[in-house]
Amino acid sequence: MNESRHIVEVSDLTSGYEDIRVLDNVSIHAPSNQITIILGSSGCGKTTLLKHLIRLLQPWSGSIRLFGQEITELDEPEFNTILRKIGVMFQNGALLGSMSVAENVSIPLEQHTDLNDEIIRKLVEIKLDLVELGHAIDRYPSELSGGMRKRAALARAIALDPPLLFGDEPSAGLDPVTSAGLDELILKMRDQLGMTVVLVSHEVASIKRIADHVIFLDRGKVLFCGPLKEARSAGIQKVDDFFSKG
């Protein structure tokens, strides 16, 4: 058994596409029951890092531990057990347009459980109420606003009550008020459901509202990984510049 202090722990991760290096010796962690935000300028490797955390990519070298397990070494069934414990929100929501909101949210329940239709419907209702979308349960994605789509995507990501939630710029493209509403929901995931949340974001106002812990990437290297409060007094020029924008 490997003992890890943190639910997400990456050590010396180096990787890239073809022979182009994107992540350079990245060592980061995300503490349990906290909201961690991965930030940095466009192209610095944020999405790439997140993809490693769900094993969509394999590293050139380094270690990636989730729940204390080295995921780079697990076989498919072992890794699927880990994946079941992770909710993922993709960049643009990625709801299936041919399915209603209820059907979209039920996908993980259909895939990973043997529950009958009636119970699945009940669970879907509970999740949609949680994201304040109960009234739209039988609508189709094309009939939803951008903010409603994000909330539906969040309901689907948490359908299996995952202890760990990942998201890639979940509030991108939303107006400030809708974005603040989504932040409230993310806080609710942490405070009421005890989730550990790891999100990519570059919206300073949102980061200040919700982040406990931040990972600041710069051209594939880690500039800072630690509590938000400490980031702003760490004396790192690029980090200071970023936070003084908002």
Ligand X SMILES: Nc1ncnc2c1ncn2[C@@H]1O[C@H](COP(=O)(O)OP(=O)(O)OP(=O)(O)O)[C@@H](O)[C@H]1O
Residues that bind ligand X (CB under 6 A): 17, 22, 42-48
Distance CA 16, CA 22 (A): 5
Instruction: Determine how β-strand 164-168 pairs with β-strand 196-200.
Output: parallel
Is residue 92 a contact point for Mg ion (CB under 5 A)?
no
Which span sits near Mg ion by CB under 5 A: 20-28, 40-48, 108-116, 140-148?
40-48
Q: Is the CB of 128 or the CB of 200 nearer to ligand X?
A: 200
Distance CA 183, CA 163 (A): 18
- Select from Mg ion, ligand X, none the partner in contact with residue 223, using the beta carbon and a kind-dependent cut-off of 5 to 8 Å: none
Q: Is the CB of 56 or the CB of 119 nearer to ligand X?
A: 56
Query: What SS3 string covers 223-239?
Result: EEEEEHHHHCCCCCHHH
Q: Residue 226 corresponds to which amino acid?
A: G
- Select from ligand X, Mg ion, none the partner in contact with residue 48, using the beta carbon and a kind-dependent cut-off of 5 to 8 Å: ligand X
CB distance 45 to 239 below 8 Å = no
Distance CA 65, CA 164 (A): 13
**CB of residue 200 vs Mg ion: minimum separation in angstroms?**
6
- Select from ligand X, Mg ion, none the partner in contact with residue 100, using the beta carbon and a kind-dependent cut-off of 5 to 8 Å: none
Instruction: Tell me the residue nearest to Mg ion as measured from the CB.
Output: 47
CB distance 86 to 162 below 8 Å = yes
Q: Is the CB of 19 or the CB of 114 nearer to ligand X?
A: 19
- Select from ligand X, Mg ion, none the partner in contact with residue 43, using the beta carbon and a kind-dependent cut-off of 5 to 8 Å: ligand X
Q: Is the CB of 17 or the CB of 233 nearer to ligand X?
A: 17
Q: Which of 4, 14, 32, 47 binds Mg ion (CB under 5 A)?
A: 47
**CB of residue 89 vs Mg ion: minimum separation in angstroms?**
13
Q: Residue 37 corresponds to which amino acid?
A: I
Q: Is the CB of 1 or the CB of 20 nearer to ligand X?
A: 20
Burial class (CB in 10 A: 0-12, 13-18, 19+), 45: buried
Distance CA 145, CA 25 (A): 40
Task: Provide the binding-site residues for Mg ion, judged by CB under 5 A.
Answer: 47
